[in-house]
Amino acid sequence: MEITKTNLKDCFVISFEVYKDKRGYFQETYHKKKYDCLLPKFKFVQDNLSFSKKNVIRGIHFQIKKPQGKLVRVVRGKVFDVAVDLRPNSKTFGEYFSIILSESNQYQIWIPPGFGHGFLSLENKTILEYKCTNFYDPKDEKCIIWNDKKINIKWPLKNKPVISHKDQKGISFSNLNLINLK
């Protein structure tokens, strides 16, 4: 397991060795003892799977009262993945980190509780999988608009993105009431 720090405090990229041969490849993607050492305060309680067509943007989602830490990886295809630090007392508050996660590079990203998360699918039939440290609560979920001018994410778009009706109603970073974020 190799850990690479990002520009955001507590957010990092994880890579495991991939064993390839003429049959294909094998990779360990989760090992409880290793993650218990790496993230001792967190326990994963829910796994999610997202299937997306090319040019779909999902997010930037977060929960206020029940923030979720997320361990994100791509099983098939490729995404431009984004984490936004929404912790008011953090030195990197309001900053983002982006990375290409793909089936070929096999990277994972740890996105701590108190962060927003979103991604752009760069290929058809992309499957993104992530483990969460808290249960999803639709009443607690919020969304920052994907093209927020203050955060200014440099999405690698070539065409108009496909965005859900719910995500199109995302609010601006400047209008967030972040008092209750942990």
Q: What is the pLDDT of residue 175?
A: 84
Q: What is the pLDDT of residue 179?
A: 44
Any domain includes 44:
yes
Question: Which 3 state secondary structure label does DSSP give 74?
Answer: strand
Is 61 known to be catalytic? Answer: yes
Give me the catalytic one of 19, 35, 61, 117: 61
Q: What is the pLDDT of residue 122?
A: 98
pTM: 0.93
Contacts of 163 (CB under 8 A, 6+ apart): 56, 57, 146
Q: What is the pLDDT of residue 176?
A: 79
What is the domain-level CATH number for residue 102? 2.60.120.10
Any domain includes 30:
yes
> Residue 45: which domain range?
2-175
Give me the catalytic one of 35, 96, 107, 130: 130
Q: What is the pLDDT of residue 110?
A: 98
Any domain includes 182:
no
Q: What is the pLDDT of residue 177?
A: 65
Is 165 known to be catalytic? Answer: no
Q: What is the pLDDT of residue 28?
A: 86
Could you identify the residue written with the tokens 């064993």? Answer: 19
Torsion angle defined by CA atoms of residues 137, 181, 121 and 151, in that order, rounded to the nearest 10 degrees: 150
- Specify the number of domains making up the chain: 1
Any domain includes 168:
yes
Any domain includes 49:
yes
Any domain includes 27:
yes
Any domain includes 181:
no
- Mean pLDDT, consecutive 10-residue segments, the chain of 182 residues? 95 92 90 90 96 97 95 98 95 96 96 97 98 96 96 96 96 74 54
